[in-house]
Structure 1
Amino acid sequence: MDLPRIFTIRESSHRIHNPFTPGKLATLGQALHLEPGTRILDLASGSGEMLCTWARDHRITGTGVDISTIFTEQARARAAELGVDDQVDFIHADAAGFVADTPVDLVACVGATWIGGGVAGTAELLIQSLRPGGLMLIGEPYWREEVPDQETARACGAGGTEDFLLLPELIEQFGVLGFDVVEMVLADQDSWDRYQAAQWLNLRRWLDDNPDDELAAEVRAELTTDPARYTRYQREYLGWGVFALMRR
């Protein structure tokens, strides 16, 4: 049970495995007015930067669950580095289907709604761990503008134009599911660059160090084509944000 190697190679230097910068993550924490002692469950928590920095800055407590052994180890090391390992803990497990033993104040899935088969299924999963009146965070891509064709959608990492919604339509979807949108923080093109372009240096350094690895040809092909694909398609068409929801 783990992520494919290519994913951990691609994001080996990342503390945040989505198109948020540390500043964006801090803005989100501030916008939520987190009280000391707020209990958080973060599903697909990656390298734990959200829980660890919010534990340091807002004195929250929490648990992160992630399928990656490497990212889980990095999260535990980050908690120790920031001196918050008594406030947060990280579990190596499949976040799909994970429900807290005791309802929490805030439950999150930031950029991994595949754990519930999409936004609706993920919201249904998350609500099972949330106390009445608590906050839910969902991070999700959306189209910044109408996508002209299926080729463009696939170049953005989607299966097709129908995979994502325009931002107003995504907001409306949360309403249809029975939630009020009470906050949001959106990635911008600069923060997308920091997420996406940083992967290219990771890929190149790994390739230089591992020219004979079985993944070398796949890494070389990705590094050759990804910068142009990203700048031609994804940077222009794909948005991403974290949305704070409360059940109606």
Structure 2
Amino acid sequence: MTMGKMGNYRVMLQNRNLRPHLPETRWMTDAGTLRMLGAHSSVFIKPDLGSGGNGIIRVRKLSRGYEVRSGPSRKIVGAGSVLRTVRSSRRSNNRYLMQKGLQIARYQGKIFDIRVYMQKPEHKWVIAGMVARVAAPHKFLTNYHQGGHAEPLQKVLLNQFKNNQAKVDACHRKIEQLSMTIAETVSKWSSTRELGIDLALDKNGYIWILEANSHPGHRLFTQLADQTMYSTIIENKRKMAVQYPI
């Protein structure tokens, strides 16, 4: 059995080591949306079962009114019509959740986050791949299907920490530690053997957990010059198909 984003979030919330890294996330309701917009400068609204960045809406406070972005659409609306605009921007009948927006770090002027590809080909979880996902210019999502592209994580972290290798190494270790904890925590409640974990650094270098997806895509890794991680992912998929056929 696999769970949606909210199910994974609630499982992770029970782990005291993960809790400080989880941005506020709630089911979407009209009243809840207004409360979130009152508390935060931006809010992301996501379908619980969506993937690839499809259907994600960002609502951002402006000096007057709100900016509502969904795909290529961008609307500036007043407080009286923001809920109606959000509802009309939804592309799915699935339940939606709301997540606090973050001041995400940038690479060469574009936002980026981190995809960690977790697999369990045998009895233990392994980190099969780690990559930075860099958004296309003027985009608010980093997903491959939204125009995002892959960059080696080491390269992006060196840029972020101004070539301070000690800080890069510490961040890398924390990413690995969090990812293993997430996979072990989520798999207690789900039979999945693959997880796409999305993490983000804020402008202070703090690591946030955006989501854990049990149906991750792996095409992003084909964009790297070094194909080692992609080959590892495919080989693990082959092993799992033999040992755990559907």
Normalized against structure 1, the TM-score is what? 0.28
Normalized against structure 2, the TM-score is what? 0.28
Where is the strand percentage greater, Structure 1 or Structure 2? 2
Where is the helix percentage greater, Structure 1 or Structure 2? 1
